[in-house]
Amino acid sequence: MKSNALYKVDDCKVSALPKHMRPNGNLTVAEHPASIPFDIKRVYYLYDIPAGEERGGHAHKQLQQLVIAVSGSFDVIIDDGTERRTVTLNRPFAGLHIRPGIWRELNNFSSGAVCLVLASEHYDESDYIRDYKDFIQYTKEAER
């Protein structure tokens, strides 16, 4: 496994989750290890986000996430300290796998958007990097 800060934007992939279509409604399944590359220890979701607001604005040292737009759409900006990319999530059967050591910002939420996050670890404040300058320093130190 790579040193966590050495993951790059290209290591964060959007992948399709199994979609089972039925006349009475669709079902999408997220299971470890079939569609999620880590054990899930925490699940949370963001909703009722006012227009123009942003979420995220941090990186994690160890935690991995699968981010899914279960309703509506939003953008996820991922940043490895060198490269920055915007991924639009707008399908409830697609998830963005965000690796450790990747800065993330969520914005451009549509009305009624719901962002589901499956996390590899329990909440631990010491795992967060909340200042972008500290994040850049963290990536530089990890490359040594």
Catalytic positions, written as ranges = 58
Beta carbons of 118 and 30 less than 8 angstroms apart: yes
Nearby residues of 16 by Cβ (< 8 Å), 6 or more positions away: 93, 94
Q: How far apart are CA 28 and CA 83, in angstroms?
A: 31
A 10 A CB-CB count for 34 gives 10
CA distance 14 to 81: 20
